[in-house]
Structure 1
Amino acid sequence: YKRKPTLINNYVQSIHYMLETSKALNINNIFKDITMSYQQRIKNNIFFRDCTWQIIFAKWLRYSPMFCSDVRINKLLKKYYSTKLIENKLDPHWVTGFIDAEGCFSVIIEISESLKSKVRISFEINLHVKDKEILYKIQSFFGVGGIYHRPDRKKSVYRVTNVNNINDVIIPHFTKYPLISKKGVDFLLWCKVVKMILNKEHLTKEGFLTILSYYAYINRGVSKKVLNYYPNIIPSDKPIIDLPNNLNPQWVSGFVAGDGGFSIYVKSAKDYVLLEKVYCRFHIAQHSKDLELMKLFIKFFDCGVVNLRSNLSTPRCDFIVQDTNSLLKKIIPHFDSYPLLNLKQEDYVCFKQWIVDFI
């Protein structure tokens, strides 16, 4: 949009009015995303050359710890998002989607100097401590496991390690509501390890070596310590994960709550009053091995593109929607119907309000 200079004051006042009810939002400058909740404080003028933008966005981001660590938090807004948005029981598809993005199925191998080995298993979700309330909701959903906090690392973890709880609760859930990202491969191999532990097969040499073959493919593979003791581990065959024809809308919101983002970025525009233009973008980032899954988002939302990043050291792909019409007619209606439920919902509300009021 273009505005005449005489409208600048009204424009700024309107933004101030809107932003009095906002808390925090992800902003990037020229496609460099920075997430407010997880990055260190930086100076306001890192984004904007023009003094007017500094004033506008400093006011907008008044509740962001990234910009104003000493400003009192809007307690009413915090209470609203941290409790009321997640009062209802979680949808199982949403849970699977969120864990497809944020969950971890681990096999822990412990080997002593006497070559005595121990096998442990764990299902967990690691989040920033600010997002701990969704972990309590997930714990309530499953009815098992515990939540542990690491204030020194600003982390909260939901973890299930009891093999019977895993077998009776966790595995049946993901059997009924399957993971569809490549994390599903980890889950299937992890399930085999769980069964072997229940059958005491991990206590035999043959069983332990079989577990090592599964362990070699799960998450980051074999640790250096285990590899020192067992350098000739032969990885097992990988299971095949079949993608669905269509994505479940609850799964989509759960997945976006983990790996999605809502951004505003500013680019130079000489024909605009403030000499810069605001753009909005919805995006999902994922490892390039899930490229085909990312393409399903194009089909689901009926908009957007998927781009492979050129940097080979970070094999990632991104689903991106930045067309204003698509954001208004496809993205916003979806998340209005299927909320994100965690703290990322706050980003979405600010993002939506900006688009509806000013684009």
Structure 2
Amino acid sequence: AMCSRKTHKWVKPSNSGDTLKFLIPSYSRKAISGQNNYLGMVTSQEMIENEMGYRGSKSALLAVKEQRVDGGYCIKSMQLRCTLMGFERNYQIKNLSKQLNKQYYSTLSKTNIIHNLKPWFITGFTDAEGCFSFAIKPDAKSKLKWRTSPLFVIKLHIKDIAILELIKNSLMVGKIRKNGENSVQYVVESIKELQVIVDHFKKYPLVTAKLSDFLIFKQCFEIIKQREHLTEKGLLRLIGLKSSLNWGLSDNLKEAFPNVAIVNRPEYKFNFIPDPYWVAGFTSGDGSFHLNIKKSDTSVSNRVSLRFSINLNIRDAEVLKGLVIYFNTLNHKCTVIKGNLNQENQYVSKSYNTVSFAITKTSELIEIIIPFFEKYPIQGVKSLDFEDFKKVAMLIDSKEHLTIKGLNRILEISLNMNKHREW
């Protein structure tokens, strides 16, 4: 979870109160790689500055400043508590305050610190946010005067760059690039690295209609991998496949290849929800934890309601029905579905081109949804919204929302949730 003005308590470190030395090695770019310091952990060493052990290349002498470990422990819930997260690439900067980019601050608890994502989480998040694409652009130097570039991309707001870092570290391929003022994207574009992407989604297949895009992309990848795209026949096959991928052909390509044979999209059929980590990944991308406070001039009661929802294109309606059934299997007390889909309209609603899945019953949220995401955590800034959502659910469950004090507490939480949260 990323840093915000409010966060939850940490477990008090065993060495709280001891001296903490920030170890900031400089390095030669050619001689070092990887992380020397343990991220998200408090390091305490008893030594004088000129006797510090090897923690990386020491080509320059750096001053070591003292801090207290107490900063890693929150006594009052309203206090801000952050853990320093270092990054190798910035270690030549001797001013510690300049070492950190604001998007890399973290307030993860020890129990939630992860270094790699589960494979099904990556698939679920890709179902929500990923894009399989390839560009075909004019190239005067090419024999056929056209250049092809396959791409796998996940584009997010910069506040969620930590998720992209986790995906990159887990797959061990790709790059993260800034894309505009407030956007970043994870990009995989070399044939060698795209093979890792293709292999991943063959083993952990996509669940939504995005599977059809991947199947087209995989055909394009194989054509390029076998270098068939360097022939006129291969290029025309690529253009035909591109016509059915994402937004189809650009006007320039339609004009340049008016007689290209259009390829039909692979038929998509939803099967089932494969894994709880898929749900966690998909919800991290497309899920929403919403708090609604109704105005009332007569009483305090019945002002607060919670809503967990996922909104998708109408083509993925079966996915949401599958989620309804999946959550129902987690607890027999849940009344989401009783053996069939006769009650699906209570949880899945449709409009012209969208479909929505929503659970608003407090008992179902407390018995099913909250325990599920405690066990299979959401990643990114949305995890903070989930934590606030959970706090309000507990206040409602204990009837504290019926008091002025409890309602004020909920109002305070709502002012820092979702789009109101500072990052």
CA deviation after TM superposition for structure 1 residue 308, in Å: 1.0
CA deviation after TM superposition for structure 1 residue 86, in Å: 4.2
CA deviation after TM superposition for structure 1 residue 80, in Å: 1.8
**Aligned mates of 1:191, 1:79 — CA distance in 2:** 36
Deviations 1:287-316 (A, max 9, x none): 11111111101101122611112xx4xx21
Query: Given the alignment of the two structures, is residue 193 of structure 1 paired with residue 220 of structure 2, yes or no?
Result: yes
Q: In structure 2, what is the equivalent of residue 343 of structure 1?
A: 381
Residue 108 of structure 2: SS of its match in structure 1?
helix
Query: Given the alignment of the two structures, is residue 202 of structure 1 paired with residue 229 of structure 2, yes or no?
Result: yes
Q: In structure 1, what is the equivalent of residue 183 of structure 2?
A: 155
Query: Given the alignment of the two structures, is residue 290 of structure 1 paired with residue 320 of structure 2, yes or no?
Result: no
Deviates more, 1:172-181 or 1:88-97: 88-97
The answer for unaligned runs of 5 or more in structure 1 is 1-18, 24-72
Query: Given the alignment of the two structures, is residue 76 of structure 1 paired with residue 72 of structure 2, yes or no?
Result: no
The structure, 1 or 2, with the larger RCO (C-alpha pairs under 8 Å, 6+ apart) is 1
Paired residue type of 1:154: N
Q: In structure 2, what is the equivalent of residue 126 of structure 1?
A: 155
Q: In structure 2, what is the equivalent of residue 355 of structure 1?
A: 393
**Aligned mates of 2:348, 2:121 — CA distance in 1:** 23
Query: Given the alignment of the two structures, is residue 108 of structure 1 paired with residue 150 of structure 2, yes or no?
Result: no
Counterparts of residues 160-171 of structure 1 (less than 5 Å): 160-167=188-195, 169-171=196-198
Paired residue type of 1:287: N
Name the Cα RMSD after superposition. Answer: 2.6
Residue 76 of structure 1: SS of its match in structure 2?
coil
Counterparts of residues 1-359 of structure 1 (less than 5 Å): 21=7, 74=80, 76=82, 79-81=106-108, 85-111=112-138, 116-150=145-179, 152-167=180-195, 169-273=196-300, 277-302=303-328, 303=336, 305-309=347-351, 312=352, 315-359=353-397
**Aligned mates of 1:153, 1:217 — CA distance in 2:** 31
CA deviation after TM superposition for structure 1 residue 246, in Å: 3.9
Identity of aligned residues (%): 32
**Aligned mates of 2:175, 2:7 — CA distance in 1:** 35
4+ aligned runs moved over 4 Å, structure 1 = 19-23, 112-115
CA deviation after TM superposition for structure 1 residue 233, in Å: 3.6
Q: Residue 299 and residue 230 in structure 1: after superposition, are their counterparts in 2 closer, same or farther (change >3 A)?
A: same
Q: Residue 86 and residue 134 in structure 1: after superposition, are their counterparts in 2 closer, same or farther (change >3 A)?
A: farther
**Aligned mates of 1:20, 1:86 — CA distance in 2:** 18
Q: Residue 137 and residue 349 in structure 1: after superposition, are their counterparts in 2 closer, same or farther (change >3 A)?
A: same
Residue 284 of structure 1: SS of its match in structure 2?
strand
**Aligned mates of 1:305, 1:254 — CA distance in 2:** 21
Residue 197 of structure 1: SS of its match in structure 2?
helix
* Matched pairs, number: 286
- Which entry has the higher C-alpha Rg, 1 or 2? 2
The answer for unaligned runs of 5 or more in structure 2 is 10-78, 84-104, 329-335, 337-345, 398-423
Paired residue type of 1:141: S
**Aligned mates of 1:165, 1:287 — CA distance in 2:** 30
TM-score normalised to structure 1 length:
0.74
